[in-house]
Amino acid sequence: MADLRLRTDTAADEPAVSLDAFLEQEEAVSVRIEAGEDVTTLFPHLSRVRLIEVDFPRFRDGRGFSTARMLREAGYTGEIKATGDVLVDLIFFMERCGFDSFAPDKPFDPADAEAALTRWQHVYQPAADPPGVPGRVPIWQLRHG
């Protein structure tokens, strides 16, 4: 499996451009965020964005998790794709941060991806689950009504 997309809408077919290029081109609708870039500069333009690719240069670099969460908290409902050194073991947590598609450098085994996404029935905290993913109620809330 080369890419994994959890959305049901039509995928953006425009290539993603760098953040600087996106800010200079009013017709651009897909953007690529590199590790360390300030995603808040994109916030005033979210209404025209169809796809945001967030690069993971190394699996140890967790800044992309924060980027996705910030985008969802800012109200972005479009596709957020994790690209680069994306590990199948982390896609459940990436989805909880707002990612809804994945383009890993090394393809996922479909069975491993399915197992990673369905392994845990319950969660411990609220998160920025992407649109279309049913909100998961934290287990403490289930226990205490």
* 5-42 as b/e: b if 16+ CB within 10 A: ebbeeeebeeebbebeebeeeeebbbbbbeeebebeeb
**Does residue 118 contact residue 105 with C-beta atoms inside 8 Å?**
no
For residue 92, give its domain range: 4-144
Total of domains in the chain: 1
β-bridge partners, 10: none
pLDDT digits (tens, 9 = 90+) for 17-73: 999 999 999 999 999 999 999 999 999 999 999 999 999 998 888 899 999 999 999
**Does residue 33 contact residue 55 with C-beta atoms inside 8 Å?**
yes
pTM score, whole prediction: 0.87
**Residues 6 or more apart in contact with residue 101 via CB below 8 angstroms:** 3, 4, 5, 6, 7, 11, 79, 80, 81, 82
CATH number at residue 47: 3.40.50
